[in-house]
Structure 1
Amino acid sequence: MAGHSKYKNIMHRKGAQDKKRSSAFSKLSREITVAAKMGLPDPDMNPRLRAAINAAKAMSLPKENIQRSIDKASKGDAENYEEIRYEGFGPGGVSLIIEALTDNRNRTATNVRVAVAKNGGNLGASGSVSHAFDRVGLISYPASAGDAEAVFEAALDAGAEDVTSSEDGHEIWTAVADLHEVAKALEAKLGEAEGAKLAWRPQTMVDVGEDDAGTLFKLIEVLDEDDDVQTVWGNYEVSDEILEKLG
């Protein structure tokens, strides 16, 4: 089994919570609009839109905001966003995949390049690190959804490929083509998921020391604060001891 339950796509740091909440809402709204624009505005017929709405609900995005984002796409007055993926390396030799939705490719490329360069990393060419990741579906549930055995059984019955559970919650992995159907089957047994989306799962992990971990988390934080950056994936693993030291 590739990956590890401690692997996180975004490292949320303390402080400036209101700003982060506003940024998260903006990104969720953008993803909903793009999903609705690329497919049907009905989440039952549009797996990407359904996943985006589930993620928005998990973050407590107000219903009126969700509907407004869908309406923007339906009315044709939404901005034209382009999906871009950047690949590169962070401190400690960590591989990073940075996914963005942007209406200005030059702005986003410059911001991402500067953020990575200033925080101990460098961008590579397309394909430079993605070959070390698997493209999969990821469904997330809180720990309250059930114990590890119960969730594993539910995931197995639903057609999932793998499950990782920890005190933080459950991560259920699927084939890309199966994400929507597995998510629907799990919802019937476990309730609504915290999130369901396409993901990049690392094939191997890199242990990161204390000095590199601090710089790495700073890099991810800077990228996360960029409204154009939707998700940052990495193959890093940091021990509990180091996490406690970094606070």
Structure 2
Amino acid sequence: MGRAFEVRKVAMAKTAAAKSKVYSKFGREIYMAAKSGTPDPETNQTLKRVIERAKKEQVTADIIKRAIDKAKGGSDENYTEIRYEGFGPGNSLIIVECLTDNTNRTLSDVRTLFNKAYGKLGVSGSVLHQFEHRAVFEVKATEDQILEVLLENDINVLDVEVEDEFVTIYAEPSEYGKIGDTLKEVNLEPTQEMIAFLPMTTVEIKDADEFAKFERLVNGLDELDDVSNVYHNVVIEN
């Protein structure tokens, strides 16, 4: 995997989650995508992309079907998307994306973890301006192959990075669906794809105690059922 994208992937705090957490996360996302549009992925592009990401995370067909059937059945269960921004140990900046049916519970859980790590939640926008919101695709291909596909399909990208046999494409989130569909049409299956917050600058936490607090905070956030994604600006050595 390309070094450039590996650095950014680590900065997204993608800690190893239990399968049950992954299943729960995608179950909610699929349910909400199906409920907010049509329950057919062929006519609902948002649902289609969520299902494709779920399959890459090895979410079973049964879980996907149950989430769609739940939306078809007219369930009144509803989830709210909410984002928290905070300051963690060692000058770390953290963004927490949640999908919850109880915002009071989620806020309490997130705030408690920040307090335990001697960090604090910030107001909306206090951290966000230090990150870029990007659609990211990593593809095993040559640079010439990717550039040709992008030009032929009139796709606007912000940057293309090459590392070994991998090419990483960065674009505005609005281009996510178009890029994904185009790559599939030309049989270039991404090894990684997501819409994520990427830090503009990174920090190293050299103090062992501070780093331990940071790790506990990020791992704790990642384990919360209501948390979908955690992003931060800390460089973590593999």
TM-score, normalising length: structure 1: 0.81
How far apart, CA to CA, are the structure 2 residues paired with 1:195 and 1:44? 22
How far apart, CA to CA, are the structure 2 residues paired with 1:197 and 1:86? 19
How far apart, CA to CA, are the structure 2 residues paired with 1:195 and 1:35? 21
How far apart, CA to CA, are the structure 2 residues paired with 1:73 and 1:168? 41
Kindly indicate whether the alpha-carbon contact (under 8 Å) linking 1:88 and 1:123 is maintained by their aligned counterparts in 2. Answer: yes
Corresponding residue number in structure 2 for 1:149:
143
Query: Aligned pair 1:183/2:180, yes or no?
Result: yes
Structure 2 vs 1, CA of residues 155 and 237 (structure 1 numbering), >3 Å: closer, same or farther? farther
Runs of 4+ aligned residues of structure 1 deviating over 6 Å after TM superposition are: none
Q: Which amino acid aligns with 2:171?
A: T
Q: Which amino acid aligns with 2:107?
A: A
Kindly indicate whether the alpha-carbon contact (under 8 Å) linking 2:203 and 2:235 is maintained by their aligned counterparts in 1. Answer: yes
Displacement after TM superposition at 1:210 (Å): 5.2
1:202-241 mapped onto 2 (5 Å cutoff):
202-209=199-206, 211=208, 212-238=210-236, 240=237
Kindly indicate whether the alpha-carbon contact (under 8 Å) linking 1:47 and 1:180 is maintained by their aligned counterparts in 2. Answer: yes
Kindly indicate whether the alpha-carbon contact (under 8 Å) linking 1:32 and 1:66 is maintained by their aligned counterparts in 2. Answer: yes
Kindly indicate whether the alpha-carbon contact (under 8 Å) linking 1:72 and 1:78 is maintained by their aligned counterparts in 2. Answer: no
Corresponding residue number in structure 2 for 1:22:
20
Where in structure 1 are there 5+ consecutive unaligned residues?
Answer: none
Corresponding residue number in structure 1 for 2:119:
121
RMSD: 2.7
Q: Which amino acid aligns with 1:162?
A: D
Deviations 1:134-166 (A, max 9, x none): 222233x4xxx5256367536744623324466
Query: Aligned pair 1:58/2:59, yes or no?
Result: no
TM-score, normalising length: structure 2: 0.83
Kindly indicate whether the alpha-carbon contact (under 8 Å) linking 2:80 and 2:101 is maintained by their aligned counterparts in 1. Answer: yes
What number of residue pairs does the alignment pair up?
Answer: 229
Aligned to 2:198, the other structure's residue is in SS state strand
Corresponding residue number in structure 2 for 1:45:
43
Structure 2 vs 1, CA of residues 151 and 132 (structure 1 numbering), >3 Å: closer, same or farther? farther
Where in structure 2 are there 5+ consecutive unaligned residues?
Answer: none
Q: Which amino acid aligns with 2:127?
A: V
How far apart, CA to CA, are the structure 2 residues paired with 1:221 and 1:206? 18
Structure 2 vs 1, CA of residues 155 and 112 (structure 1 numbering), >3 Å: closer, same or farther? farther
